[in-house]
Amino acid sequence: MTVIAIDGPSGVGKSSVSREVARRSGYGYLDTGAMYRAVVWLCLNRGTADPGDVVELVRGADLEISTDPDVAEVTIDGIDVTTEIREPEVSANAQIVSAVPEARTELIELQRQIIAAAAPGIVVEGRDITTVVAPEAEVRILMTADESVRIARRSKELHGSADAAAVQATRSQIVDRDAKDAQTTSFLTAADGVHTLDTTDIDFEQSVAAVMGLVEKAEHD
């Protein structure tokens, strides 16, 4: 089985690239960030941000996520939250879960179970994937891009435009989230053995081709 681990900051394009690589490889796809978002949604729904409550909710939750790259579906306790977890309120409160070590441990264990059950391979993306979740992955990649490029890409995704107003509306979301996430994860510097893929000056197809090249090399080594 082949595991492709992809890390990177917000707006770098890792989700869209990871999905496409999974499609072309015939592999599964795991968006670990969606798992965190689902638990954040549950915490907000229950009206709690207490670390102890968060851990209990993670342990008791029935969290299911699709690993089909063409099916983006996430359910928690039988509730389809695929759309809800993308709401700004969920993004703004990610630290409710990610800043709680025991909650992270529980989710990482679930992610490893999903990875172990995947065949013939799986593309896993998020934060700390190359170093914590799947450090033994056959392919480990850190996707990066200049902050201004990441903001423009996320602006187009969220607002359909990268004009000045849209970029300004997106800037704080990207910058603030990176600052918060940097407190609990390392996603801006590649660890030993991790390939850095800078997508600042390359487009989506070129990014996919670069990852596929690393995958093919790993499969033949």
Q: Which secondary structure element, helix H or strand E, spans residue 28, and what is its range?
A: strand 28-31
The tokens for 78 are 């039988």
Say if residue 15 carries a ligand binding annotation: yes
User: Could you give the CA distance from residue 156 to residue 178 in angstroms, rounded to a whole number?
Assistant: 19
β-sheet with 139-144: strand ranges across: 28-31, 121-126, 2-7, 139-144, 195-198
Residue 37's nearest CA partner among 58, 16, 22, 8 is 58
Q: What share of the chain is helix, strand, coil (3-state, %, to 5)?
A: 55, 15, 30
Say if residue 13 carries a ligand binding annotation: yes
Say if residue 213 carries a ligand binding annotation: no
Say if residue 47 carries a ligand binding annotation: no
Say if residue 8 carries a ligand binding annotation: yes
Could you tell me if 12 and 24 are in contact, meaning their C-beta atoms sit under 8 angstroms apart? no
Say if residue 10 carries a ligand binding annotation: yes
Say if residue 28 carries a ligand binding annotation: no
The tokens for 180 are 């918060």
Q: What residues are designated binding site?
A: 8-16
Q: What residues are designated binding site for ATP?
A: 8-16
